[in-house]
Chains A and B, each alone.
Chain A
Amino acid sequence: MIDLKNVSLSFGDHPVLHNISLSLSERRIAVIGANGSGKSSFARLLNGLALPTSGTVSVDGFDTKKQGKDVRGRVGFVFQNPDNQIVFPVVEEDLAFGMKNLGLDKATIATRTTEILERYDMQHLREHPAHLLSGGQKQLLAISGVLVMAPAYVVLDEPTTLLDLRNKRRIARVLNALDQTIIHVTHDLDQIADYDRVIVIDEGRVACDATPAKAIPFYQELMA
């Protein structure tokens, strides 16, 4: 479970998130809100990329402020632009990066690499240069690079915003098939209709926290 207690976040004297308290344990959680409302800041708090100005964020009891390493092993993060998340020139090397950081041995790294490439039908891309992949393939690689680290939670910050419709749908299917708890920041409302929970953020506050059936109309009303 990810727990936020009285969390506020400011950049300098510019407050971005105001006194947020909630627990995240459902399997499919969406975070929606207008541009600049604080969704990315909220997402970054969950794996310790951002630390609260006041209050605490904890993941399975580990405080993001004090136990960053334990937190990052548990919470994977997928960014909007896969180009900035893929850090090695070749597909297989990039997949290995996170696993090496976890200290896994070569044999385990090789096995997990094969497994994930097979799962997403990318075996033929194993030795492919990352910059020659298509946009959809890049995002799939970025997600795979997180999944091979076997996190319990995956936070995704608008992972489909830069993709065309076909790839949006492909990534949505991939996300729906995951066993992990996912916290998915998105503007694609049709992807989250069957999620367990939708959190609407507005000007740094949780404006609505409910089922999709309630939260999505609320958000549409808010934006009208």
Chain B
Amino acid sequence: MLDLYTPGTSMLHRMSPGPKMAALAIAATALFLQESLLVTALAVVAILALYRVANIPMKTALAQIRPLMWIFVIFFAVQWYFSGLTLAAYVVLRLAALILLASLVTLTTRASDMIDSMTRALRLFKPIGVNPDKVSLAISLALRFIPVLGRIATEVREAQKTRGLERSIIAVAMPLAIRAIKMADDVSDAIESRGYRS
């Protein structure tokens, strides 16, 4: 979900992020309020059609759902057992539709644009003490550093592997935490020295 954005010039890419996210919210709510398998299936088809419009290959669309395959299977099995086939299909399709739709928005919207519109929306909450700029910086930082932390975690795990400790949670978590804290220190220096007024 991090560097999902795929550059493009389609209608969906050009649509401004505020309305796009609003449309997502409305569509998602509508999906949850209706209970027809047929409508849900049609929604999935319609969403896949939107992927076409955005010029995003089906492969990418499927890649959004693949990591959740097991959850789908479990949901489906449980629902089938308790409530029957139709409801099971409905529940799983609805979840798939939701994920595809949300991914479509992140695929066609730059993180920075999304953050900008979120910041604008957050301005409404300024009177109750929310600082929109801080919130948006925090979100950007999270997006930026999740892959960095992932890489550090891999490094730590590999280092501990040579000592046969890769399965020990503490042996991996401690060095990771120490490096993360050191990194946070450096990052905060960098932000300050790049003129961020805190």
**Could you list which residues of chain A lie within 8 angstroms of chain B, going by C-beta atoms?**
44, 47, 49, 69, 72-73, 76-77, 79, 81, 83-90, 93, 96-98, 101-102, 127, 129-132, 145-146, 149
Contacts and interface: CB of A to CB of B under 8 A. Distances in A.
Given A93-B111, A93-B112, A87 B193 contact: no
A49 B194 contact: no
A109 B189 CA distance: 23
B169 to A, nearest CB: 25
B3 interface: yes
Given A102-B195, A149-B195, A87 B187 contact: yes
Interface string B177-198: 0000001001101111111110
B194 A89 contact: no
Interface residues of B, number: 27
Contact of B3 (A72, A76, A89): A89
B20 interface: no
Given A127-B7, A131-B3, A98 B195 contact: yes
**Most chain B CB inside 10 Å of its own CB: which residue of A44, A83, A132:** A83
A129 B2 contact: yes
B74 interface: no
9 contacts: A44-B189, A77-B193, A81-B186, A89-B111, A93-B112, A97-B194, A129-B147, A131-B144, A145-B194
Contacts of A131: 3, 144, 147-148, 151
B148 A90 contact: no
Main secondary structure on chain B at its contact with chain A?
A: helix
B140 A98 contact: no
B193 A89 contact: no
Interface in B138-189: 140-141, 143-144, 147-148, 151, 183, 186-187, 189
A88 B147 contact: no
A57 to B, nearest CB: 14
Contacts, number: 83
A98 B147 CA distance: 22
A83 B186 CA distance: 10
Interface in B85-129: 110-112
A61 to B, nearest CB: 19
A107 B197 CA distance: 22
Contacts of A49: 189, 192-193
Interface in B46-76: none
A149 B140 contact: no
A168 B158 CA distance: 27
Contacts of A47: 193
B112 A73 contact: no
Contact of A149 (B3, B137, B141, B194): B194
B10 to A, nearest CB: 15
A184 to B, nearest CB: 16
A79 B195 contact: no
A89 B183 CA distance: 16
